[in-house]
Structure 1
Amino acid sequence: MKKEEAFKVSILASGSTGNALYIESDKKKFLVDAGLSGKKITSLLGDIKRSPADLDGILVTHEHKDHIHSVGILSRKYDLDIYANELTWQAMAKNIGTIKPEHQHIFEMGKTKTFGDMDVESFGVSHDAAAPQFYQFQRNNKSFVILTDTGYCSEQVRGVVRNADAYLMESNHDLSMLRMGKYPWSLKQRILGDKGHLSNEDGALVMGDVLGDKTKRIYLGHLSRENNMKELAHMTMENSLKEQGLGVNHDFKIYDTDPDQASELFSI
Protein backbone atom coordinates (compact mmCIF):
# COMPACT_ATOMS: atom_id res chain seq x y z
CA MET A 1 0.00 0.00 0.00
CA LYS A 2 1.36 3.42 -0.97
CA LYS A 3 2.27 5.80 1.83
CA GLU A 4 -0.60 8.22 1.10
CA GLU A 5 -3.22 5.45 1.00
CA ALA A 6 -5.26 4.63 4.10
CA PHE A 7 -7.39 1.71 2.87
CA LYS A 8 -8.10 -0.61 0.01
CA VAL A 9 -11.78 -1.53 -0.35
CA SER A 10 -13.94 -3.80 -2.47
CA ILE A 11 -17.70 -4.01 -2.27
CA LEU A 12 -17.92 -7.77 -2.79
CA ALA A 13 -21.73 -7.79 -3.04
CA SER A 14 -24.44 -5.26 -2.35
CA GLY A 15 -28.16 -5.78 -2.79
CA SER A 16 -31.31 -7.24 -1.34
CA THR A 17 -29.99 -10.78 -1.94
CA GLY A 18 -26.70 -10.49 -0.06
CA ASN A 19 -24.13 -8.04 1.27
CA ALA A 20 -20.42 -8.22 2.01
CA LEU A 21 -17.60 -5.69 1.91
CA TYR A 22 -13.84 -6.11 2.18
CA ILE A 23 -11.54 -3.46 3.65
CA GLU A 24 -7.82 -3.57 4.44
CA SER A 25 -5.14 -1.31 5.85
CA ASP A 26 -1.43 -2.05 6.07
CA LYS A 27 -2.00 -4.18 9.17
CA LYS A 28 -5.62 -5.38 9.18
CA LYS A 29 -8.14 -7.06 6.86
CA PHE A 30 -11.87 -7.22 7.60
CA LEU A 31 -15.19 -8.16 6.14
CA VAL A 32 -18.25 -6.12 6.94
CA ASP A 33 -21.11 -8.62 6.85
CA ALA A 34 -21.16 -11.99 5.11
CA GLY A 35 -24.61 -12.25 3.56
CA LEU A 36 -23.85 -14.80 0.87
CA SER A 37 -22.69 -18.42 1.03
CA GLY A 38 -19.18 -19.08 2.28
CA LYS A 39 -18.31 -20.51 -1.14
CA LYS A 40 -19.52 -17.36 -2.92
CA ILE A 41 -17.67 -15.00 -0.57
CA THR A 42 -14.49 -17.05 -0.99
CA SER A 43 -14.91 -16.78 -4.76
CA LEU A 44 -15.53 -13.02 -4.63
CA LEU A 45 -12.45 -12.53 -2.45
CA GLY A 46 -10.51 -14.60 -4.97
CA ASP A 47 -11.61 -12.22 -7.71
CA ILE A 48 -9.72 -9.42 -5.93
CA LYS A 49 -6.82 -11.77 -5.11
CA ARG A 50 -7.66 -12.07 -1.43
CA SER A 51 -8.56 -15.04 0.80
CA PRO A 52 -10.75 -15.62 3.88
CA ALA A 53 -7.68 -17.14 5.55
CA ASP A 54 -6.09 -13.66 5.59
CA LEU A 55 -8.96 -11.97 7.40
CA ASP A 56 -8.72 -10.59 10.93
CA GLY A 57 -12.47 -10.74 11.50
CA ILE A 58 -16.01 -9.87 10.43
CA LEU A 59 -17.93 -6.80 11.56
CA VAL A 60 -21.69 -7.43 11.58
CA THR A 61 -24.22 -4.64 11.00
CA HIS A 62 -27.45 -6.50 11.89
CA GLU A 63 -29.01 -9.94 11.94
CA HIS A 64 -30.93 -10.07 8.65
CA LYS A 65 -29.97 -13.06 6.51
CA ASP A 66 -28.65 -10.98 3.62
CA HIS A 67 -25.96 -9.76 6.03
CA ILE A 68 -25.09 -12.83 8.14
CA HIS A 69 -25.65 -15.87 5.89
CA SER A 70 -22.10 -17.28 6.23
CA VAL A 71 -20.80 -15.43 9.30
CA GLY A 72 -20.77 -18.62 11.38
CA ILE A 73 -19.43 -20.82 8.59
CA LEU A 74 -16.48 -18.52 7.90
CA SER A 75 -15.72 -18.04 11.59
CA ARG A 76 -15.59 -21.79 12.21
CA LYS A 77 -13.60 -22.62 9.08
CA TYR A 78 -11.01 -19.84 9.39
CA ASP A 79 -11.02 -19.12 13.17
CA LEU A 80 -12.31 -15.59 12.58
CA ASP A 81 -13.27 -13.07 15.24
CA ILE A 82 -16.85 -11.74 14.96
CA TYR A 83 -17.85 -8.26 16.16
CA ALA A 84 -21.43 -7.13 16.78
CA ASN A 85 -23.37 -5.33 19.48
CA GLU A 86 -25.03 -7.36 22.22
CA LEU A 87 -28.59 -7.21 20.89
CA THR A 88 -27.43 -8.24 17.42
CA TRP A 89 -25.54 -11.19 18.92
CA GLN A 90 -28.74 -12.29 20.66
CA ALA A 91 -30.83 -11.88 17.52
CA MET A 92 -28.48 -13.73 15.18
CA ALA A 93 -27.31 -16.51 17.53
CA LYS A 94 -29.85 -19.09 16.34
CA ASN A 95 -28.97 -18.47 12.68
CA ILE A 96 -25.17 -18.57 12.71
CA GLY A 97 -24.51 -21.69 14.74
CA THR A 98 -21.87 -22.18 17.40
CA ILE A 99 -19.10 -19.59 17.60
CA LYS A 100 -16.10 -20.21 19.82
CA PRO A 101 -16.28 -17.94 22.89
CA GLU A 102 -12.87 -16.47 22.09
CA HIS A 103 -14.20 -15.34 18.70
CA GLN A 104 -17.26 -13.55 20.12
CA HIS A 105 -16.71 -9.82 20.61
CA ILE A 106 -19.08 -7.03 21.61
CA PHE A 107 -18.85 -3.85 19.55
CA GLU A 108 -21.11 -1.34 21.31
CA MET A 109 -23.18 1.08 19.29
CA GLY A 110 -21.77 4.60 19.22
CA LYS A 111 -18.29 3.46 20.21
CA THR A 112 -14.94 3.49 18.41
CA LYS A 113 -12.62 0.48 18.40
CA THR A 114 -8.99 0.50 17.32
CA PHE A 115 -7.76 -2.47 15.31
CA GLY A 116 -4.03 -2.18 14.68
CA ASP A 117 -3.62 0.89 12.47
CA MET A 118 -7.34 1.66 11.88
CA ASP A 119 -10.11 3.15 13.98
CA VAL A 120 -13.67 1.93 13.43
CA GLU A 121 -16.63 3.97 14.67
CA SER A 122 -20.07 2.37 14.96
CA PHE A 123 -23.30 4.33 14.67
CA GLY A 124 -26.93 3.29 14.96
CA VAL A 125 -29.41 3.47 12.08
CA SER A 126 -33.19 3.19 11.75
CA HIS A 127 -34.04 -0.29 10.45
CA ASP A 128 -36.33 -3.13 11.50
CA ALA A 129 -33.64 -5.15 13.23
CA ALA A 130 -32.68 -5.59 16.89
CA ALA A 131 -29.99 -2.89 17.04
CA PRO A 132 -28.69 -2.13 13.54
CA GLN A 133 -25.40 -0.27 13.31
CA PHE A 134 -23.01 0.64 10.53
CA TYR A 135 -19.39 1.68 10.50
CA GLN A 136 -16.97 4.46 9.63
CA PHE A 137 -13.33 3.46 9.08
CA GLN A 138 -10.65 6.05 9.84
CA ARG A 139 -6.91 6.12 9.22
CA ASN A 140 -4.33 8.73 8.21
CA ASN A 141 -6.98 11.49 8.31
CA LYS A 142 -9.05 9.58 5.74
CA SER A 143 -12.40 7.87 6.23
CA PHE A 144 -14.77 5.44 4.57
CA VAL A 145 -18.46 5.20 5.53
CA ILE A 146 -20.95 2.37 5.04
CA LEU A 147 -24.57 3.51 5.32
CA THR A 148 -27.28 1.18 4.02
CA ASP A 149 -30.38 -0.46 5.55
CA THR A 150 -31.92 2.63 7.08
CA GLY A 151 -35.35 4.17 6.62
CA TYR A 152 -34.11 7.66 7.35
CA CYS A 153 -30.87 9.37 8.31
CA SER A 154 -30.95 11.40 11.52
CA GLU A 155 -29.05 14.63 12.07
CA GLN A 156 -26.86 12.78 14.56
CA VAL A 157 -25.83 10.18 11.97
CA ARG A 158 -25.28 12.86 9.35
CA GLY A 159 -22.93 14.59 11.75
CA VAL A 160 -20.95 11.39 12.34
CA VAL A 161 -20.49 10.57 8.65
CA ARG A 162 -20.04 14.04 7.17
CA ASN A 163 -17.16 14.71 4.74
CA ALA A 164 -15.79 11.18 4.38
CA ASP A 165 -13.42 10.36 1.51
CA ALA A 166 -15.72 7.63 0.20
CA TYR A 167 -19.21 6.28 0.87
CA LEU A 168 -21.27 3.18 0.28
CA MET A 169 -24.69 4.87 0.34
CA GLU A 170 -28.07 3.19 0.14
CA SER A 171 -30.11 3.60 -3.06
CA ASN A 172 -32.55 0.79 -2.41
CA HIS A 173 -35.59 1.50 -4.55
CA ASP A 174 -37.25 3.76 -7.05
CA LEU A 175 -40.46 5.05 -5.47
CA SER A 176 -42.60 4.58 -8.59
CA MET A 177 -41.31 1.05 -9.25
CA LEU A 178 -41.96 0.06 -5.64
CA ARG A 179 -45.46 1.54 -5.50
CA MET A 180 -46.49 -0.02 -8.82
CA GLY A 181 -44.68 -3.32 -8.26
CA LYS A 182 -45.90 -6.75 -7.21
CA TYR A 183 -44.89 -6.61 -3.55
CA PRO A 184 -47.81 -6.93 -1.07
CA TRP A 185 -48.85 -3.64 0.49
CA SER A 186 -47.53 -4.66 3.92
CA LEU A 187 -44.03 -5.15 2.49
CA LYS A 188 -44.22 -1.88 0.58
CA GLN A 189 -45.15 -0.12 3.82
CA ARG A 190 -42.18 -1.72 5.58
CA ILE A 191 -39.71 -0.61 2.89
CA LEU A 192 -41.15 2.92 2.73
CA GLY A 193 -41.28 3.35 6.51
CA ASP A 194 -38.82 4.98 8.89
CA LYS A 195 -37.33 1.53 9.64
CA GLY A 196 -37.11 0.40 6.02
CA HIS A 197 -34.75 1.50 3.27
CA LEU A 198 -33.69 4.77 1.65
CA SER A 199 -35.10 5.36 -1.83
CA ASN A 200 -32.92 6.63 -4.66
CA GLU A 201 -34.27 10.11 -4.02
CA ASP A 202 -33.77 10.06 -0.25
CA GLY A 203 -30.29 8.56 -0.53
CA ALA A 204 -29.34 11.36 -2.93
CA LEU A 205 -30.63 14.04 -0.55
CA VAL A 206 -28.66 12.54 2.35
CA MET A 207 -25.57 12.29 0.17
CA GLY A 208 -25.86 15.91 -0.89
CA ASP A 209 -26.01 16.94 2.76
CA VAL A 210 -23.05 14.91 4.06
CA LEU A 211 -20.45 14.94 1.28
CA GLY A 212 -17.67 17.48 1.60
CA ASP A 213 -14.43 18.73 0.12
CA LYS A 214 -12.68 15.43 0.90
CA THR A 215 -15.31 13.25 -0.78
CA LYS A 216 -14.06 11.56 -3.97
CA ARG A 217 -16.12 8.37 -4.34
CA ILE A 218 -19.81 7.54 -3.84
CA TYR A 219 -20.89 3.91 -4.30
CA LEU A 220 -24.60 3.20 -4.64
CA GLY A 221 -25.56 0.23 -2.46
CA HIS A 222 -28.28 -2.26 -1.56
CA LEU A 223 -30.28 -1.87 -4.78
CA SER A 224 -33.47 -3.91 -4.90
CA ARG A 225 -33.62 -6.40 -7.77
CA GLU A 226 -37.38 -5.94 -8.10
CA ASN A 227 -37.80 -2.22 -7.46
CA ASN A 228 -34.73 -0.54 -8.92
CA MET A 229 -32.27 -0.45 -11.79
CA LYS A 230 -28.61 0.55 -11.74
CA GLU A 231 -29.17 3.16 -14.43
CA LEU A 232 -32.10 4.68 -12.56
CA ALA A 233 -30.28 4.82 -9.21
CA HIS A 234 -27.21 6.33 -10.84
CA MET A 235 -29.20 8.93 -12.79
CA THR A 236 -31.20 9.93 -9.71
CA MET A 237 -28.06 10.42 -7.60
CA GLU A 238 -26.25 12.28 -10.37
CA ASN A 239 -29.15 14.59 -11.22
CA SER A 240 -29.94 15.34 -7.57
CA LEU A 241 -26.35 16.25 -6.73
CA LYS A 242 -26.07 18.42 -9.84
CA GLU A 243 -29.29 20.21 -8.86
CA GLN A 244 -27.70 20.85 -5.46
CA GLY A 245 -24.80 22.56 -7.26
CA LEU A 246 -22.27 19.84 -6.45
CA GLY A 247 -19.35 18.85 -8.69
CA VAL A 248 -20.42 15.44 -10.04
CA ASN A 249 -17.67 13.87 -12.21
CA HIS A 250 -15.39 16.78 -11.30
CA ASP A 251 -14.92 16.87 -7.53
CA PHE A 252 -16.13 13.29 -7.04
CA LYS A 253 -17.47 10.30 -8.98
CA ILE A 254 -20.49 8.02 -8.55
CA TYR A 255 -20.02 4.26 -8.88
CA ASP A 256 -22.44 1.34 -9.17
CA THR A 257 -22.28 -1.89 -7.16
CA ASP A 258 -23.46 -5.39 -8.00
CA PRO A 259 -25.32 -8.09 -6.04
CA ASP A 260 -22.93 -10.87 -7.07
CA GLN A 261 -19.82 -9.32 -8.56
CA ALA A 262 -17.02 -7.67 -6.59
CA SER A 263 -16.08 -4.08 -7.36
CA GLU A 264 -12.49 -3.45 -8.27
CA LEU A 265 -10.22 -2.98 -5.26
CA PHE A 266 -10.05 0.79 -4.88
CA SER A 267 -7.80 2.95 -2.73
CA ILE A 268 -8.75 5.65 -0.25
Structure 2
Amino acid sequence: MTMRFSVLASGSTGNAFYVETDRQRLLVDAGLSGKQLEALFAQIGRHPSELHALLVTHEHSDHIKGLGVLARKYRLPIFANEKTWRAMEAAVGEIPSEQKFVFPLGAVKTFGDLDVESFGVSHDAAEPMFYVFHCGGKKLALLTDTGYVSERMKKTVENADVFVFESNHDIGMLRMGRYPWNVKRRILSDVGHISNEEAGLALADVIGDRTKRIYLAHLSQDNNMKELARMTVAQTLEQKGLAVGGRFHLYDTDPHQATALACV
Protein backbone atom coordinates (compact mmCIF):
# COMPACT_ATOMS: atom_id res chain seq x y z
CA MET A 1 0.00 0.00 0.00
CA THR A 2 1.44 3.34 -1.07
CA MET A 3 0.43 6.85 0.06
CA ARG A 4 1.31 9.79 -2.21
CA PHE A 5 0.65 13.49 -1.73
CA SER A 6 1.09 16.98 -3.13
CA VAL A 7 0.71 20.39 -1.52
CA LEU A 8 -1.22 21.85 -4.47
CA ALA A 9 -1.22 25.38 -3.04
CA SER A 10 -0.28 26.86 0.30
CA GLY A 11 -0.28 30.45 1.55
CA SER A 12 -2.53 33.29 2.61
CA THR A 13 -4.13 33.45 -0.87
CA GLY A 14 -5.35 29.85 -1.03
CA ASN A 15 -4.74 26.35 0.27
CA ALA A 16 -5.30 22.86 -1.12
CA PHE A 17 -3.68 19.53 -0.19
CA TYR A 18 -3.99 16.29 -2.15
CA VAL A 19 -3.42 12.76 -0.84
CA GLU A 20 -3.91 9.45 -2.62
CA THR A 21 -3.46 5.73 -2.07
CA ASP A 22 -3.97 2.80 -4.43
CA ARG A 23 -7.70 3.02 -3.74
CA GLN A 24 -8.50 6.58 -2.62
CA ARG A 25 -7.98 10.16 -3.80
CA LEU A 26 -8.81 12.95 -1.35
CA LEU A 27 -8.53 16.74 -1.41
CA VAL A 28 -8.19 18.69 1.82
CA ASP A 29 -9.51 22.25 1.38
CA ALA A 30 -10.24 24.04 -1.89
CA GLY A 31 -9.20 27.62 -1.24
CA LEU A 32 -8.77 28.68 -4.87
CA SER A 33 -11.11 29.03 -7.83
CA GLY A 34 -12.26 25.89 -9.64
CA LYS A 35 -10.17 26.88 -12.67
CA GLN A 36 -7.03 27.37 -10.56
CA LEU A 37 -7.56 24.04 -8.81
CA GLU A 38 -7.93 22.21 -12.12
CA ALA A 39 -4.66 23.80 -13.31
CA LEU A 40 -2.87 22.73 -10.11
CA PHE A 41 -4.15 19.16 -10.48
CA ALA A 42 -2.84 19.16 -14.05
CA GLN A 43 0.64 20.02 -12.71
CA ILE A 44 0.73 16.62 -10.95
CA GLY A 45 -1.04 14.67 -13.70
CA ARG A 46 -4.34 14.36 -11.86
CA HIS A 47 -7.88 15.73 -12.30
CA PRO A 48 -10.58 16.71 -9.77
CA SER A 49 -13.02 14.28 -11.44
CA GLU A 50 -10.88 11.43 -10.00
CA LEU A 51 -11.45 12.53 -6.40
CA HIS A 52 -13.44 10.40 -3.97
CA ALA A 53 -14.04 13.11 -1.33
CA LEU A 54 -13.29 16.65 -0.16
CA LEU A 55 -12.23 17.26 3.45
CA VAL A 56 -12.48 20.70 5.08
CA THR A 57 -10.31 22.11 7.87
CA HIS A 58 -12.25 25.34 8.56
CA GLU A 59 -14.43 27.95 6.91
CA HIS A 60 -11.94 30.74 6.08
CA SER A 61 -12.09 31.70 2.39
CA ASP A 62 -8.47 30.73 1.68
CA HIS A 63 -9.55 27.16 2.46
CA ILE A 64 -13.04 26.95 0.90
CA LYS A 65 -13.16 29.44 -2.00
CA GLY A 66 -13.64 26.77 -4.70
CA LEU A 67 -15.26 24.10 -2.53
CA GLY A 68 -18.87 24.54 -3.66
CA VAL A 69 -17.96 24.85 -7.34
CA LEU A 70 -15.79 21.72 -7.26
CA ALA A 71 -18.30 19.67 -5.28
CA ARG A 72 -21.20 20.56 -7.58
CA LYS A 73 -19.27 20.16 -10.83
CA TYR A 74 -17.90 16.72 -9.98
CA ARG A 75 -20.62 15.59 -7.53
CA LEU A 76 -18.10 15.08 -4.73
CA PRO A 77 -18.95 14.31 -1.10
CA ILE A 78 -17.77 16.94 1.39
CA PHE A 79 -16.69 16.09 4.94
CA ALA A 80 -16.56 18.74 7.69
CA ASN A 81 -17.54 18.99 11.34
CA GLU A 82 -20.98 20.37 12.22
CA LYS A 83 -19.81 23.81 13.38
CA THR A 84 -17.76 24.27 10.21
CA TRP A 85 -20.74 23.22 8.08
CA ARG A 86 -22.89 25.90 9.74
CA ALA A 87 -20.16 28.54 9.41
CA MET A 88 -19.46 27.93 5.72
CA GLU A 89 -22.97 27.19 4.45
CA ALA A 90 -23.58 30.63 2.95
CA ALA A 91 -20.12 30.84 1.38
CA VAL A 92 -20.18 27.47 -0.41
CA GLY A 93 -23.72 27.80 -1.77
CA GLU A 94 -26.27 25.03 -2.24
CA ILE A 95 -24.82 21.55 -1.73
CA PRO A 96 -27.13 18.53 -2.29
CA SER A 97 -27.80 16.77 1.02
CA GLU A 98 -26.44 13.48 -0.35
CA GLN A 99 -23.03 15.15 -0.74
CA LYS A 100 -22.87 16.51 2.83
CA PHE A 101 -21.17 14.43 5.51
CA VAL A 102 -20.10 15.13 9.09
CA PHE A 103 -16.52 14.38 10.15
CA PRO A 104 -16.44 15.05 13.91
CA LEU A 105 -13.49 16.62 15.66
CA GLY A 106 -11.27 13.99 17.28
CA ALA A 107 -12.56 11.13 15.14
CA VAL A 108 -11.01 8.61 12.76
CA LYS A 109 -12.71 7.89 9.44
CA THR A 110 -11.69 5.19 7.00
CA PHE A 111 -11.66 5.92 3.28
CA GLY A 112 -10.87 2.61 1.58
CA ASP A 113 -7.26 1.80 2.57
CA LEU A 114 -6.69 5.21 4.18
CA ASP A 115 -7.43 6.06 7.85
CA VAL A 116 -7.90 9.78 8.49
CA GLU A 117 -7.67 11.18 12.02
CA SER A 118 -9.01 14.67 12.80
CA PHE A 119 -7.69 16.88 15.60
CA GLY A 120 -8.42 20.38 16.85
CA VAL A 121 -6.18 23.42 16.44
CA SER A 122 -6.21 26.94 17.93
CA HIS A 123 -7.48 29.32 15.25
CA ASP A 124 -10.18 31.99 15.03
CA ALA A 125 -12.71 29.82 13.21
CA ALA A 126 -15.85 27.95 14.31
CA GLU A 127 -14.18 24.59 15.06
CA PRO A 128 -10.94 24.33 13.09
CA MET A 129 -9.36 20.91 12.72
CA PHE A 130 -6.59 19.29 10.72
CA TYR A 131 -5.77 15.74 9.76
CA VAL A 132 -3.30 12.90 10.12
CA PHE A 133 -3.31 10.25 7.36
CA HIS A 134 -2.38 6.63 8.04
CA CYS A 135 -1.81 3.99 5.35
CA GLY A 136 0.37 0.88 5.20
CA GLY A 137 2.22 1.78 8.39
CA LYS A 138 3.04 5.30 7.10
CA LYS A 139 1.94 8.55 8.75
CA LEU A 140 1.44 11.97 7.14
CA ALA A 141 0.56 14.96 9.35
CA LEU A 142 -1.06 18.16 8.06
CA LEU A 143 -0.98 21.08 10.54
CA THR A 144 -1.37 24.76 9.67
CA ASP A 145 -3.62 27.62 10.83
CA THR A 146 -2.92 27.47 14.54
CA GLY A 147 -1.77 30.18 16.97
CA TYR A 148 0.25 27.69 18.99
CA VAL A 149 1.01 23.97 19.01
CA SER A 150 -0.33 22.35 22.17
CA GLU A 151 0.98 19.18 23.80
CA ARG A 152 -2.17 17.41 22.61
CA MET A 153 -1.50 18.43 18.99
CA LYS A 154 2.13 17.33 19.31
CA LYS A 155 1.07 13.94 20.64
CA THR A 156 -1.27 13.48 17.66
CA VAL A 157 1.25 14.35 14.94
CA GLU A 158 4.51 13.14 16.51
CA ASN A 159 6.92 10.93 14.58
CA ALA A 160 5.14 11.33 11.24
CA ASP A 161 7.01 10.23 8.13
CA VAL A 162 6.02 13.53 6.51
CA PHE A 163 4.94 16.84 8.05
CA VAL A 164 3.17 19.65 6.23
CA PHE A 165 3.65 22.29 8.91
CA GLU A 166 2.79 25.95 9.28
CA SER A 167 5.63 28.47 9.18
CA ASN A 168 3.51 31.56 8.59
CA HIS A 169 5.58 34.64 9.36
CA ASP A 170 8.80 36.19 10.48
CA ILE A 171 7.95 38.14 13.65
CA GLY A 172 10.25 41.06 12.72
CA MET A 173 8.77 41.38 9.23
CA LEU A 174 5.24 41.22 10.63
CA ARG A 175 5.89 43.88 13.30
CA MET A 176 7.53 46.24 10.81
CA GLY A 177 5.12 45.51 7.95
CA ARG A 178 2.17 47.37 6.49
CA TYR A 179 -0.64 45.45 8.23
CA PRO A 180 -2.82 47.45 10.64
CA TRP A 181 -2.11 46.71 14.30
CA ASN A 182 -5.38 44.81 14.87
CA VAL A 183 -4.44 42.36 12.08
CA LYS A 184 -0.89 41.97 13.45
CA ARG A 185 -2.31 41.31 16.92
CA ARG A 186 -4.65 38.65 15.52
CA ILE A 187 -1.82 36.86 13.66
CA LEU A 188 0.43 36.93 16.75
CA SER A 189 -2.35 35.72 19.07
CA ASP A 190 -3.06 32.19 20.29
CA VAL A 191 -5.78 31.90 17.64
CA GLY A 192 -3.67 33.27 14.77
CA HIS A 193 -0.67 31.68 13.06
CA ILE A 194 2.70 30.39 14.24
CA SER A 195 5.97 32.06 13.26
CA ASN A 196 9.05 30.49 11.69
CA GLU A 197 10.77 30.22 15.07
CA GLU A 198 7.67 28.73 16.74
CA ALA A 199 7.45 26.22 13.90
CA GLY A 200 11.05 25.17 14.49
CA LEU A 201 10.52 24.77 18.23
CA ALA A 202 7.33 22.72 17.76
CA LEU A 203 8.93 20.54 15.09
CA ALA A 204 11.86 19.84 17.42
CA ASP A 205 9.36 18.17 19.76
CA VAL A 206 7.61 16.03 17.13
CA ILE A 207 10.31 14.92 14.67
CA GLY A 208 10.94 11.22 15.19
CA ASP A 209 13.10 8.40 13.86
CA ARG A 210 10.82 7.87 10.89
CA THR A 211 10.56 11.55 9.85
CA LYS A 212 11.98 12.10 6.35
CA ARG A 213 10.32 15.23 4.93
CA ILE A 214 9.02 18.51 6.33
CA TYR A 215 7.11 20.91 4.08
CA LEU A 216 6.92 24.48 5.42
CA ALA A 217 3.42 25.71 4.67
CA HIS A 218 1.02 28.65 4.78
CA LEU A 219 3.79 31.24 4.42
CA SER A 220 2.57 34.83 4.45
CA GLN A 221 3.30 36.60 1.17
CA ASP A 222 3.77 39.90 3.01
CA ASN A 223 5.53 38.79 6.19
CA ASN A 224 7.76 35.91 5.19
CA MET A 225 10.08 34.51 2.50
CA LYS A 226 10.81 30.88 1.64
CA GLU A 227 14.55 31.28 2.27
CA LEU A 228 13.97 33.01 5.60
CA ALA A 229 11.47 30.40 6.79
CA ARG A 230 13.78 27.56 5.82
CA MET A 231 16.82 29.19 7.43
CA THR A 232 15.03 30.06 10.69
CA VAL A 233 13.45 26.61 11.07
CA ALA A 234 16.76 24.90 10.23
CA GLN A 235 18.69 27.02 12.75
CA THR A 236 16.09 26.43 15.47
CA LEU A 237 16.19 22.67 14.86
CA GLU A 238 19.99 22.63 14.84
CA GLN A 239 20.03 24.42 18.20
CA LYS A 240 17.95 21.48 19.45
CA GLY A 241 20.45 18.98 18.05
CA LEU A 242 18.44 18.13 14.91
CA ALA A 243 20.48 18.71 11.77
CA VAL A 244 18.54 19.33 8.56
CA GLY A 245 19.83 17.40 5.55
CA GLY A 246 20.77 14.29 7.47
CA ARG A 247 17.89 12.05 8.38
CA PHE A 248 15.25 14.55 7.21
CA HIS A 249 14.94 17.43 4.73
CA LEU A 250 13.00 20.71 4.54
CA TYR A 251 10.88 21.57 1.49
CA ASP A 252 9.11 24.70 0.28
CA THR A 253 5.45 25.06 -0.65
CA ASP A 254 4.00 27.72 -2.92
CA PRO A 255 0.68 29.55 -3.47
CA HIS A 256 0.73 28.89 -7.24
CA GLN A 257 2.90 25.82 -7.83
CA ALA A 258 2.06 22.28 -6.70
CA THR A 259 4.80 20.27 -5.05
CA ALA A 260 5.79 17.15 -6.98
CA LEU A 261 3.65 14.12 -6.24
CA ALA A 262 5.73 12.21 -3.68
CA CYS A 263 5.49 8.93 -1.78
CA VAL A 264 5.26 9.07 1.99
TM-score, normalised on structure 2? Answer: 0.99
1:178 aligns with 2:196: no
Question: Which of 225, 228, 237 matches 2:224?
Answer: 228
| Deviations 1:50-108, CA, capped at 9 Å, x for gaps | 00000001100000000000100000000001000000000000000011111100000
What is the match of residue 129 of structure 1? 125
Q: How does 1:49-128 map to 2 (within 5 A)?
A: 49-128=45-124
What is the match of residue 41 of structure 2? 45
1:156 aligns with 2:152: yes
Question: Structure 1: which 5+ runs fail to align?
Answer: none
Structure 1 residue identity aligned to 2:244: V
Percent identity over the alignment?
Answer: 56
What is the match of residue 215 of structure 2? 219
Question: Counterpart of 1:10 in 2: which secondary structure?
Answer: strand
- d(CA) in 2 for partners of 1:98 and 1:257? 32
1:262 aligns with 2:254: no
Backbone CA RMSD of aligned residues? 0.6
1:247 positional shift: 3.2
Structure 1 residue identity aligned to 2:13: T
1:187 aligns with 2:147: no
Question: Structure 2: which 5+ runs fail to align?
Answer: none
- d(CA) in 2 for partners of 1:232 and 1:47? 26
Structure 1 residue ranges (4+ consecutive) displaced by more than 6 angstroms after TM superposition: none
Whether the aligned pair in 1 keeps the contact of 2:234 and 2:243 (CA below 8 Å) is: no
What is the match of residue 145 of structure 1? 141
Structure 1 residue identity aligned to 2:59: E
- d(CA) in 2 for partners of 1:157 and 1:175? 23
Structure 2 residue identity aligned to 1:232: L
- d(CA) in 1 for partners of 2:24 and 2:136? 14
TM-score, normalised on structure 1? Answer: 0.98
